[in-house]
Amino acid sequence: MTKSEARFDRAAAPPQSTAWTGWIVFASIMLAIVGLINIVQGLTALLDETYYVAASSEGLLIGDLTVWGVVLLIWGGTQIAAGMGLNSGHGWARVLALIIASVGIVIQMVLVSAQPIWSLVIIALDVVVIFALTVYWQEARAGL
């Protein structure tokens, strides 16, 4: 076999998919789903203020429901964009997903006393996603 034939065989072979490619695809799908959920919650907060009831005399921690709805819409749109871009193997989506996962860990640390099991599960998933996006990105990107 000549060099040109060997080069042709390697070029024709599909890229090797690894287990980390599956984690990247998982992260992209989860980001998009959670983004959709956040958009629905944001629209609910904007369109029906009676749906969310705050049982506190001091009101919501961040302001009113309009602010919360807008924050959720922006956050959800960002998550969907990162999920779609990550599934396509774009570098900007990797950076955005890393930021989203890092912010998610910080948010879950704040909420750990209110929902400990859920917060620890989300933190663990965010750590795995950050690990896959930093250590195995080139390997996983080749399989996308």
Q: Are 42 and 73 contacting, i.e. CB atoms less than 8 angstroms apart? A: yes
Indicate the helix (H) or strand (E) that contains 110. helix 91-111
Whether the full predicted model's pTM is greater than 0.95, yes or no, is no
Q: How many CB atoms lie within 10 A of CB 95?
A: 13
Give me the tens of pLDDT residue by residue for the chain, a chain 144 residues long: 565 555 555 555 555 667 778 878 888 888 888 889 889 888 988 898 776 655 455 554 556 778 888 988 999 999 999 999 988 888 899 999 999 989 988 988 887 887 789 889 888 888 888 887 888 777 777 766
Four-residue CA torsion sign, 83, 85, 91, 93? negative
Q: How far apart are CA 109 and CA 124, in angstroms?
A: 12
In terms of Cα–Cα distance, which of 130, 82, 85 is closest to 106? 130
Q: Are 125 and 31 contacting, i.e. CB atoms less than 8 angstroms apart? A: no
What are the residue boundaries of the structural domains of the chain, listed by start? 20-143
